[in-house]
Amino acid sequence: MKKLLKMMLLAIMLCAVTFTITGCGNDEDTQNQEQQENVQENEQNNEESNNDNFSRGEWTDDQYNNEFAKITFNLPEGWVKATDEQIAEMMNIGTEMLNEDQQQLAELSEQTIVYGMAANNPNDNSNISVTLEKPILTVTPEYYLTSVKQQLEALSSMDYTVGEQYDVEIGGESYLAVDAEVEGYGVCQSYFVKAEGDYIVGIIITAFNRDQVNEILTHFE
C-alpha cells in the first residue's frame, strides 16, 4: 500500500509538471473555443490580483497558515508534518531554495509545482498537500481540473477513475473539486483547486474513503 501511495504522489507531480510545461495545450489543434474563452475570462478576473505576495506559507506549532493562498490548516492529532528536506526531495530541488526569498519560489512555480506543505497520518498513510502552480497560460480551475482528469485517466501504471467537477467551500473559500479512485485498491484522492491571482492553488487529499476525506477537511478554518 505504501508503494501505491508513492505512485499516486508521482501521478500528482506528473500532472502538475506536464500541465505547466505544455502551457495547457499550446498546440493549436487542441485549442477549442471553449478553452480560449476560459483563458480570457480568467485573465480578466485576475487583472487586479497581486502576485507579489506569493508565499509557501509556514507552520506555527501545529497550524499551517498561508496568507497568499488564504489557507489555515490545523494538523490532526497523530499526524506528522513533512520537513523542508522531504518537501525539497518531492520537488527535486535543494533545501536551501525553500529558504530563499519567495520571489525565487514564485519563479520556480512557473516550471514545476511548489509544495506549500504536506502532512500524513503514519498509521494509515492518508495524507494531504497544499500546492501552488503558475501555468504558462492563465487558466480557469475548470480547465485545470479537466486537464488533471485527462492525464490521470491516461496513466498506464494505475487505473484511475475520475468523477465530475463540483463546487465546495473549504475554510470559507470556494474551490472546484474532483474525486478520483484507483480501481482495485480502495484508495481515493480528492483534488480541490481555486485561482489566486495567476496561480492555481491546490489541496490534494489521499485517503481510503470519502468520510475520511471529509473529516480531514474539517481541520481547515
Instruction: Render each residue's pLDDT in the chain as its tens digit; 221 residues.
Output: 454 444 445 445 445 444 443 444 444 444 444 554 554 454 444 444 445 688 889 999 999 999 999 999 999 999 999 998 888 877 766 555 555 555 665 666 555 678 899 999 989 888 999 999 888 777 899 998 998 888 888 877 778 889 999 999 999 999 999 999 887 777 888 999 999 988 999 999 988 889 999 999 999 99
- pTM for the full predicted model: 0.78
As a whole number of angstroms, the distance between CA 148 and CA 141 comes to 10
For 71, the domain range is 2-23+32-217
CATH code, domain carrying 167 = 3.40.1000.10
The C-alpha angle with vertex 76 and arms to 161 and 183, in degrees rounded to 5, equals: 15
Looking at the structure of the chain, the number of domains it has is 1
